Amino acid sequence: MIRAATVDDVPEIRALIRELAAYEKAEHEARATEEQLREALFGERPAAHVLIAEDDGTGGTVGFALWFPRFSTWTGTRAMHLEDLYVRPHARGAGHGIALLAALAATCVREGWERFEWWVLAWNEPTVDFYTSLGVEFLDEWRICRLTGEPLAALAAR
């Protein structure tokens, strides 16, 4: 079952984010607190949205997808950026990941958004294979750019 997250899901969302970060070998980078997530997801001006995947048999949370709208100057429409998609190891292969992606794709279609985009780590072969099976187009000619810390502060000071 796929459902929209509620404010009561924040502790579980944070746990899932930390599990994803550990899987991606970057647990030290997952610093978001429950308070930050509560404000970002359910505050006055939500920055992102979350879908929760639950096991139909137990009702337990087995995964999540965190996304936010973007805007494409080329298409003149909003688009969707999927920030995180994670299914707990014991629940993989049962259709939860594709159910989350299908629900997000349905949102795009319903809203008239022409793009649904996300990133995947190149070393994550099982996930790359999963996305390939869905017909995903990998944009190898684009590189992700990121400024943080001192370089971000230095540029801001110019």
Active site members: 131
The tens place of each residue's pLDDT in the chain, 158 residues long, gives 999 999 999 999 999 999 999 999 999 999 999 999 999 999 999 999 999 999 988 879 999 999 999 999 999 999 999 999 999 999 999 999 999 999 999 999 999 999 999 999 999 999 999 999 999 999 989 888 888 889 999 999 99
Residues 34, 45: Cα–Cα separation, whole Å: 17
CATH code for the domain defined by 2-156: 3.40.630.30
- How many Cα atoms sit within 13 Å of 27 on the Cβ side? 6
Taking the C-alpha atoms of residue 129 and residue 149, their distance in angstroms, rounded to an integer, is: 34
Its pTM stands at 0.90
